[in-house]
Amino acid sequence: MSEMQNPHHYRKVGWSMVLVAASLAAIGIVQVWIGPDVLYADDMQRDKTAFFEMCKAGNYLGEGCDMFIKPGNTLYEIPRMTLDSTEEATMPMEEPTVEAPVVTGEIVSIPDGVGVPGCEETNECYVPADLIVSAGTTVIWENVDTAAHLATSGTPADGPDGIFDSGMIMGGGTFEYEFSDKGVFPYYCVVHPWMVGTVTVE
């Protein structure tokens, strides 16, 4: 026996039809009761907008127009901004200029290829290898090699003396040190100990 042949299903369908009919009847009664004012809220809004426009045209001096004069209300029309007027009104923003500190000093170049022994024969592992400066001068080691190098005060025989140490100066990097005391300051590359140089401060 199929489900629709079961009399209990006919009863369910019957009650569903009764509920649909009752809903449609209720909707019809509400429509007859409201009548043509089914859009009453829209009409109210239109009336209020028309009254406001009338008050605005009379500079808010008419009867009942004082209801619009409240703190915070804008009683005049604010002109709408267009894209063109926005561009004209935009003030040019000046970027704050931060001047980079200019470091003046003597440059010692670390040439390309000095990571391989041979530069010590011509004393060109650091260029210039022997630099003479006055007290207060900043010396800048500039690594133009692709390999990393160091400029560490001391000698390969005695090791670092702790006055200055660049750490690894990567390819294209620099290291700066200001010599404030007079004297002779030997330095070398810890990784490539054949690279030696001196800074003499007078």
In whole angstroms, give the CA distance from residue 92 to residue 78. Answer: 24
Where does CATH 2.60.40.420 sit in the chain?
105-201
Phi-psi region of 124 (alpha: psi -120 to 50; beta: other; left: phi over 0): alpha
DSSP letter string, 130-143: EEEE-TTEEEEEEE
In whole angstroms, give the CA distance from residue 109 to residue 112. Answer: 9
Looking at residue 52, its pLDDT comes to: 79
Looking at residue 34, its pLDDT comes to: 67
Structure tokens at 37: 């004012």
pLDDT in 10s for each residue of the chain, 202 residues? 455 565 556 666 677 788 888 988 888 787 777 665 555 666 677 788 888 788 877 777 778 887 777 766 665 666 666 666 555 555 566 777 766 555 568 999 999 999 899 999 999 999 999 999 999 999 999 999 999 999 999 999 999 999 999 999 999 999 999 999 999 999 999 999 999 999 999 9
In whole angstroms, give the CA distance from residue 15 to residue 21. Answer: 10
155 burial (CB, 10 Å; 0-12 / 13-18 / 19+) is middle
For residue 196, the cross-strand partners are 188
Q: Which CATH class is domain 105-201?
A: mainly beta
Select from 156, 191, 155, 186 the least CA-distant residue to 170: 191
Looking at residue 27, its pLDDT comes to: 81
Strand order in the sheet with 159-165: 130-133, 196-201, 183-188, 152-155, 159-165
Question: Which runs of consecutive H residues, i.e. helices, occur in the chain?
Answer: 7-34, 40-57, 83-89
Looking at residue 102, its pLDDT comes to: 57
User: Three-state SS for 108?
Assistant: strand
pTM of the predicted model over 0.85: no
